[in-house]
Structure 1
Amino acid sequence: MPLKPHETYAPAAQFALAALAVLGDAAAWATARPLAGPGRAVVSAALAAAILVFGAGALGVTEIVVTLVTLSGIESATGAVHALLNAAGAGFLLMAVVAFRRRRRGGCPRCGHPHTGASDGALVHPDASMASARTQVAAYVLMCGLLPWAGLKTVWTLGGDALGVTAEGWRKLNEDAGAATSLASVGLDASVMAALLGVFLLTGLMYRWGMVFPRWTLLLSGRRVPRLLPLVPAWLTGGALSVYGVVLNVMALLSATGVIPAFEPKPPFTTSADLTWMVWFGGLAFGGLGFALIVAVRSYAARTRYICAGAESAEAAKTAEV
């Protein structure tokens, strides 16, 4: 399975990944069975290893989404399928871990609250609500990291020069980027537009319209937003962007302080200093948006956490007794 046109995993690595997938599957199955101390330790270790490996393999999902949104084309269809399967596998294993932890604590594996009876009955969802003021401030402050990076790209796209890069040089760099070229012709940068989609997701996580479809969604207006619809892309995107942003920031810092060799300038950049600034701006943008999404998605997950109808009835009965 080629990850890129001229890049693939070695056969031994493929077999190792397949074996780990089977091991993770067996561990997920075992979480619903009674386990003693050593058994719990083995299952936990197997799940942790599988989630780390397949989660790392899913880091390219954000790049795939960006190329699809901007109509830039996918470098390798099989590589994209590989990354998406990694993301799906890591996500389902993580759900198994959450259910496992809830069972160990005496809670319902689905809603997390302790109650008697089956865990496959009706669900009670909370009313739509906004994120706390502290969450909103933190998310918006982190989101400001986009400004230097998006500002530079917008200047270049609109025909200006900045950071030693001319508009002509920037145009030549992106002249074979498919739909990105068309967007640039009207003063829009494809990556900035993709970042705005991330901002749209971020705001939806913090406001009521992210829990109940607003009026402008027409046929969906007033219906509850499926909980996983924003949670899955937010966790995937936030996790990938935050890791990528941290890496870029560390590289820029090490290069600027001379710990590692200075970046070799490549067109359209003419000096290593200018390229270092751009790497740092990219780190601020990706890391800022990634951590902002993580802050917002944690709030959204807590505000949309449902409860089984049986658990709610039990809580109501206890309140009435008091």
Structure 2
Amino acid sequence: MHESDDRHGVMTPGIRGAVASPAHRRGRARWATLAAGAWSLAYAAAGLYWASGGAGFPYGESARARRMGAVLVGLDPRSAGTAVAVAGLAGAVAAAVAYRTPPSEGRRGLRGLAWSIGLVLLLLVPDGRVLLGVGELMLLDAGRLEAGVVNQLWCALGGVLWVCVAVLPRRRPSAITTEDLRRGRRTTYVAAALPLLYAVPRLLWALGVTFGLDEETMAMAADPAGRTRELVFGAAAAGGGLLTLGLTHRWGVRFPRMVPLLGGRRVPVTLAAVPAGLVSVVLVGAGFTMWRVPVAALLGTRLAGEAAFGIGNWAAWLGNLVWLPWGVMLGLAVLAYTRRRKGTTG
């Protein structure tokens, strides 16, 4: 048994806890492979639909997509749809091969392919619109939700599944050390603080204190709809930072006593880890796009996405550049939380 630390809700390290057995890990890996194959077939069908002239093609010309740093934009529906269909069918074949290949046999090539597919779906397909789309859903403004945003969320799901195909067969239980716990807490505190760099300016804009914006953006932020939008975005980021602290404090392990019906009960690992993990995936995908553009500008090149990093909008762009480190640190905090919780008992 492990002894609990009431302050942080952690357990004394150094002993293996309730980790998954090899057979259980293999079972999860096979289910992830089946899901990745089914996802690939579904996306192949979507590609055939777009290639035949179907509506909702997500990679067409879009001024908003270019402003938000999209790379896959302005493509021809027939050729791009055909490419999606071919890639989807190839992914389904790869998933079938991976499903039939025992983990004990050489799977380095399959793992490399799974990593490649996952990273393309998570880093190349998304752009800044995916986070704006989530915000518009919070504003109950689903009418502005573009086909491209739905496609990006679907590709994020596929990317997670393919990364699971690459990672799950290699996972092994390991003892948790005191240094692991300390590192996890430090990571979580950074992940909780980073969203404030995004939230504080937007909350100030919502209060009418505008700065770091050009005249056009300032006018948008100053009207009632703009203030509401900035208030929701800023409050969501600040609230997310507060909830992140639960990944290292006791109330992320047991519900506080004041919570009706659930007070004192253990928090299911998935209840905390899955939502935070999904947010991390979206932040990393959108944030990677935000960093591509300034890095390309520093190198003297231009990308397909022509987002303008105007000096007049420095406050807005600095907030957007926080997405990537925020998402990375949040993902690491989720991994530390999951490992700590699954390595404990009682």
What TM-score, normalized to structure 2? 0.59
Shift of 1:192: 0.5
Shift of 1:145: 4.2
Q: Cα gap change, 1:75/1:244 in structure 2, threshold over 3 Å: closer, same or farther?
A: same
Is 1:230 matched with 2:272? yes
Letter aligned with residue 199 of structure 1: G
Letter aligned with residue 157 of structure 2: A
Residue from 335, 339, 343 that aligns with 1:298:
335
Is 1:44 matched with 2:111? yes
Pairing 1:52-71 to 2, within 5 Å after superposition: 52-56=119-123, 57=125, 61-71=130-140
Is 1:137 matched with 2:179? no
Question: What does residue 319 of structure 1 align with?
Answer: none
Is 1:2 matched with 2:69? no
Residues 150-172 of structure 1: per-residue CA shift (max 9 Å, x gap): 33333332223433668x97353
Report which stretch shifted further, 35-44 or 296-305: 35-44
Shift of 1:195: 0.8
Listed as ranges, the gaps of 5+ residues in structure 1 are 103-111, 115-130, 313-322
Separation (CA, whole Å) in 2 of partners of 1:174 and 1:50: 42
Residue from 230, 238, 241 that aligns with 1:199:
241
Separation (CA, whole Å) in 2 of partners of 1:11 and 1:258: 33
Corresponding residue SS for 1:3:
coil
Letter aligned with residue 136 of structure 1: R
Q: Cα gap change, 1:161/1:22 in structure 2, threshold over 3 Å: closer, same or farther?
A: closer
Shift of 1:276: 3.4
Separation (CA, whole Å) in 2 of partners of 1:249 and 1:86: 20
Q: Cα gap change, 1:27/1:265 in structure 2, threshold over 3 Å: closer, same or farther?
A: closer
Q: Which has the higher contact order (CA 8 A, sep 6+)?
A: 2
Corresponding residue SS for 1:296:
helix
Residue from 86, 108, 113 that aligns with 2:155:
86
Separation (CA, whole Å) in 2 of partners of 1:140 and 1:36: 37
Q: How many equivalent residue pairs?
A: 269
Is 1:209 matched with 2:251? yes
CA contact (8 A) 2:191 2:244 kept: no
Shift of 1:253: 7.4
Question: What does residue 127 of structure 1 align with?
Answer: none
Is 1:190 matched with 2:227? no
Q: Cα gap change, 1:172/1:89 in structure 2, threshold over 3 Å: closer, same or farther?
A: closer
Separation (CA, whole Å) in 1 of partners of 2:291 and 2:111: 33
Question: What does residue 49 of structure 2 align with?
Answer: none
CA contact (8 A) 1:144 1:288 kept: no
Pairing 1:147-162 to 2, within 5 Å after superposition: 147-162=196-211
CA contact (8 A) 2:122 2:156 kept: yes
CA contact (8 A) 1:20 1:50 kept: no
Question: What does residue 86 of structure 2 align with?
Answer: 19
CA contact (8 A) 2:139 2:232 kept: yes
Q: Cα gap change, 1:32/1:246 in structure 2, threshold over 3 Å: closer, same or farther?
A: closer
Residue from 306, 317, 329 that aligns with 1:279:
317
Shift of 1:299: 0.8
Corresponding residue SS for 1:219:
coil
Corresponding residue SS for 1:132:
helix
Separation (CA, whole Å) in 2 of partners of 1:52 and 1:265: 22
Separation (CA, whole Å) in 1 of partners of 2:210 and 2:314: 17
Letter aligned with residue 170 of structure 1: M
Residues 184-223 of structure 1: per-residue CA shift (max 9 Å, x gap): 7xxx622212212421442232223334443444234444
Separation (CA, whole Å) in 1 of partners of 2:270 and 2:149: 21
Separation (CA, whole Å) in 2 of partners of 1:148 and 1:193: 12
Listed as ranges, the gaps of 5+ residues in structure 2 are 1-55, 63-74, 175-179
CA contact (8 A) 2:254 2:267 kept: yes
CA contact (8 A) 1:2 1:76 kept: no
Report which stretch shifted further, 37-46 or 75-84: 37-46
Question: What does residue 128 of structure 1 align with?
Answer: none
Separation (CA, whole Å) in 2 of partners of 1:72 and 1:156: 20
Query: CA-atom RMSD, angstroms?
Result: 4.3
Residue from 95, 101, 105 that aligns with 2:170:
101
Letter aligned with residue 151 of structure 2: H
Identity of aligned residues (%): 25
Residues 111-138 of structure 1: per-residue CA shift (max 9 Å, x gap): x459xxxxxxxxxxxxxxxx93443334
Question: What does residue 121 of structure 1 align with?
Answer: none
Corresponding residue SS for 1:214:
coil
Separation (CA, whole Å) in 1 of partners of 2:61 and 2:307: 25
